[in-house]
Each structure stands twice: as structure tokens, then as C-alpha cells.
Amino acid sequence: MKKYAEMTREELAVLKEELDRQYEEIKAKGLSLDMSRGKPSEEQLDISMAMLDVLHSNFDAKCETGVDCRNYGVIDGIPEAKRLLGAMSEVDPDNIIIYGNSSLNVMFDSIARSMTHGVMGHTPWCKLDKVKFLCPVPGYDRHFKITEFFGIEMINVPMRPDGPDMDMVEELVSTDEAIKGIWCVPKYSNPQGYTYSRKTVERFARLKPAAPDFRIYWDNAYSIHHLYNDNLDFLVEILGECEKAGNPDLVYKFTSTSKVSFPGSGIAAVAASQANLDDFRSYMRIQTIGHDKLNQLRHVRFFKDLDGLHAHMKKHADIIRPKFEMVLEVLDRELGDLEIGTWTRPHGGYFISFDSLDGCAKRIVALAKEAGVVMTDAGATYPYGKDPHDSNIRIAPTYPTLEELKEAVKVFVLCVKKASAEKLLNEE
């Protein structure tokens, strides 16, 4: 088929008429499909069900140090949970704190604490005239919602296949003391599935911030979420690089088991320097008497060690890999030669990032919704929901069944074609 841009107005009009007919046929089916969030499917949740049998009324509730996990205490996590999440995070157990069920909650707390009490003795952000954050785009919408909630000014930084534009990051961080942080999803990034290169991580570790309380918010949410066992992305460990660069306090490294065990019922952790962890503990002692140690114990006894985590994640990969491959196959077949969109081909994570012709993303998502397929809002991958090109759409293949996903992708590509033809006709 001809590329859309090479078609005459008459050919585009005929094409649009046919696409309109196909669209009305799909609408008549009354579909109700959800491709809006990166949620594990029911099949993925099923593989963790045996975890619920690990603890029972006759089990030994004491951790290895003899602490009764049914009671108060151990504010920063039982030792065996620190070892498990430390191995997952590639850090020493002494450099990690175990939290509750959500790393997003820890990030929110970290921003809130910085606003009200400052970072390691520095001026609370709420007392400053201006606070800014760097936001690699497209990026994770929930990160941006946190900084927006606190009234922090967000600055877009373009994402590339090897990570954020580091020339821009270095320039801004070193010259503007109002910049207090940067959001990062460094491995299998949300939504593009990119992994930061060694050079990018080394440049992060060697930043020279104008603000002494600047921190890198390193959300390693997909650290073990590979799709292919023989084609894994490699990410350099950031804490070690910061230590080597003489910047040990520069980074907060977050992780959780939310998409490993049960979303909303996993365990979260932050890894950082001892000085940063002491700063965290200073408010934790007031905030809580301890997180859910029974859940920590449950995870440790189910997974046992890093090998157990990796074996479990291979089961996840076997479930979701066919979904990613099917979506990519349909995009290649239906859109590959038309030059009306581009998309990423991730080796892991939860998303495929799609870029339409400029000015078409909102229209595509609206058309899909009208036809019964709910997707992430266009613009959500940018701060304030404002995509300057109105082109980026996040595709989340994991939650629907394979059959549902086939229907959803069929609707999506039709909407891409229809919106693109409309745009080109309007331009002429």
C-alpha cells in the first residue's frame, strides 16, 4: 500500500471512506476492552498464589534474629528481606530500607519530607521561592503527578534510546540551584522500554549539582522484568558509580515487588547512602512503628533468594512475551510501510511506546475509546498531561487476554489509520 503522504487527495478521500466504514462495523460490536494501565493479568497473578500458603496458623513467625514478626519493631525491615531486596537492587543489605507495599508511596513521602523538613538539614523546599524537577519525556505519569501535586515546576528533558539528554541534564543541574531532582526509570523505561547506557549512568553519577540537596530519583521498577532470557538489557548499578565518583549521597534508588508478586501487596525498598538512609529513618521513627513484617517474611520464604526471583520472573515473561510479540507483529504488518507511526521494541518492562503523526494522539485515543478500547490518555506521558506534539501513546499489552488484545490492537491500528487520513486531508 502507498505511504499516506504520497497519496493524492482523491486517494485519501477514498481511503477515509473505507476506514470510516470499517470503524462503524467495529463500533457495532460493542467491545469493552481495557488497555489503559500496565497491570499484570489474572494469569500472572495466579503464579504467585502459593505465596499465600507460606504463612499459616502454625508457622514460625520469627525472623532469623528471633524477632516476632507479628509484633511491633524492626522499623527498617527484617534482615532476610533486606538481603532479598538488596540482591534484587544489586546493593549491600546495609544500604537498603524495607518499606510497605508501594515504592510510589515512598517516592511521595520523600518529596513530602523534602518539602516540609528539607534534605539532610538543608532548607525545606516549601520555604524556597521556586522548586524545579527534571522530567525525562515521554515518562511515567504517576511520577509527574507527584511533583505536580506539590506545585513543583517540571522541565521536560528528551529521552533517547540510551537515556535522557545528558548534555541538557548536566547544564541545567549545574547552573540552577532551584532544580532539586530528576525522575528516572532507568531500565525498560516507562513507556519506551529503553535502558540507560553505561555512559549515561556514569554521567549521572558525576553530576555537579548547584543544589546540595539535589537527588536522582532512580525508580528501578523493572529491574528483573525481562521478556527474553537470551537478550537481557544490562544496567550499570548507580550507587556504586556514585560512590566511585565521590557523590555517594546523590541518588535514591527505589524498587518493589509490585509486578513480581501481587500489585498492592508486595514489598518496597529504597537503597541509598548511609547518610541518606539515616535521614529517612529520622522521620520513619515518627511516621511508623514498623511496616508489615509478616508480608516481608512471606516474600522471603516464597522466593528464598535472587535465583528464586529470577525463576519466578521467567514465568511472567512466558505469559506476557507472546502479547508483546503479537502487538509488534500487527503494528509491523498494518502500519510498517505507511509512515504514519513509529514504535519501540522493548526487551522488557510493561509498555510499548507509539508515536503517531503530530497532532493525532488525542484523536486516536478518543476514537479507540468510542470503539470500546480504553487506553492511557494521550499526553499522560508528559508533565501536566501536555504532549507538545500530541503524538505519544502508551500501549500496555499485559492485562488483556491474548484474544482480547488481538481485538484491541485491531481497533488501535484502524484508529491510527483513520486519524492519520483525517489529518492529511485537513492539511490539504
Q: Which helix (H) or strand (E) holds 219?
A: strand 215-219
Peptide bond into 138 cis (omega under 30): yes
Backbone angles phi, psi at 5, to 5 degrees: -70, -15
The cell for 138 is 515521554
Q: Say if residues 221 and 235 touch (Cβ distance below 8 Å).
A: no
Q: What is the mean pLDDT of residues 403-424?
A: 97
Query: How far is 191 from 195, CA to CA, in rounded Å?
Result: 11
Report the C-alpha gap between 248 and 274 in whole angstroms: 9
State the DSSP H helix or E strand holding residue 393, giving kind and residue range, or none if neither: strand 392-395
Sequence ranges of the chain with CATH classification 3.40.640.10: 63-304
Topology of domain 63-304 in CATH is Aspartate Aminotransferase; domain 2 (3.40.640)
d(CA 144, CA 137): 10
Taking residues 91-103, report their average pLDDT. 96
Helix axes 166-175, 198-205, angle to 10 degrees: 0
Each residue of 169-205: b (16+ CB within 10 Å) or e?
bbebbeebbbbbbbbbbbbbbbbbbbbbbeebbbbbb
Grid cell listed for 415: 484508529
Compute φ and ψ for 268, nearest 5 degrees: -115, 160
Tens digit of each residue's pLDDT (9 = 90 or more) over 183-204:
999 999 999 999 999 999 999 9
What is the pLDDT, as a whole number, of residue 37? Answer: 87
DSSP state of 41: P
- Indicate whether 178 pLDDT > 70: yes
**pLDDT greater than 90 at residue 13:** yes
For the segment 125-169, what is each residue's pLDDT rounded down to a tens digit?
Answer: 999 999 999 999 999 999 999 999 999 999 999 999 999 999 999
Residue 226 gets which letter from DSSP? B
Separation between Cα atoms, residue 281 and residue 360, nearest integer Å:
47
- According to CATH, what is the number of the domain 4-44+310-427? 3.90.1150.10
Report residue 319 as a C-alpha cell. 505469559
Contact by Cβ (8 Å): 344, 353:
yes
Q: Which residue has the higher pLDDT, 308 or 428?
A: 308
Q: Percentage of the chain with pLDDT > 90? A: 98
Residue 421 pLDDT exceeds 70: yes
Q: What pTM was computed for the model?
A: 0.96
Reply yes or no on whether the pLDDT at 428 is more than 90.
no
Q: What span, in angstroms and rounded, lies between the C-alpha atoms of 411 and 397?
A: 14
pLDDT digits (tens, 9 = 90+) for 352-407: 999 999 999 999 999 999 999 999 999 999 999 999 999 999 999 999 999 999 99
How is residue 414 written as a grid cell? 484502524
> Tell me, what's the pLDDT at 123?
98
Position 81 pLDDT exceeds 70: yes
> Could you tell me whether strands 179-184 and 373-375 are parallel, antiparallel, or unpaired per DSSP bridges?
unpaired
CA distance 393 to 331: 13
Are residues 218 and 224 in contact, defined by beta-carbon separation less than 8 angstroms?
A: no
Q: Which pLDDT score is estimated for 294?
A: 97
Beta-strand pair 153-160/163-164 = antiparallel
**∠ CA 206-209-215 to the nearest 5 degrees?**
85
Nearest to 416 by CA among 343, 347, 344: 343
